[in-house]
Amino acid sequence: MRISVSSDMDEPVARLLVEELVRRGHEVRTYGALEPGTDPQWAVCSAAAARDVAAGAADQAVVCCWTGTGASIAANKVPGVRAALCADACTADGARRWNDANVLALSLRLTSQPVLKEILDAWFAATPSQDAEDLGNVAHVGHLDAGRGIV
């Protein structure tokens, strides 16, 4: 799978994230503090990784900042992106399953090595729900992206 990764700081958990994704066989493209010469500001690098997903250049993305909140907000401004801030495996599973999230947002402050691996395990094991209600909600979010979702 092609995964774009951004981080506004070169923190150990961000480096571990890239190493773990590569170890799992993913093709990784990096932004921000993880890629010399690219803008490390969370709003800039998170949007860059999210744009890769929206454009089809990446299948998914993982965006990181100190709390994960700013990275999530910036990624969610890109039409077609459904970014979810996940601090645990259960949330990551639900984000993929019920929300068909295509961008994982992580906190550099709160995510430990064991928790990172648990989150990634859950994220990659989950498949989007085919339940009509879940599909309808995801479709509604897509209409919001296009400015047609005001109901």
Which residues are tagged catalytic?
65
Q: Can you say how many angstroms the Cα of residue 52 is from the centroid of all Cα atoms in its chain?
A: 11
Identify the sign of the CA torsion 94, 57, 27, 40. Answer: negative
- CB neighbour burial string for 35-61, b if at least 16 within 10 angstroms, e if fewer: beeebbebbebbbbbbbbbbeeebebb
What does the CA dihedral 117, 50, 78, 56 come to, rounded to 10 degrees?
Answer: -120
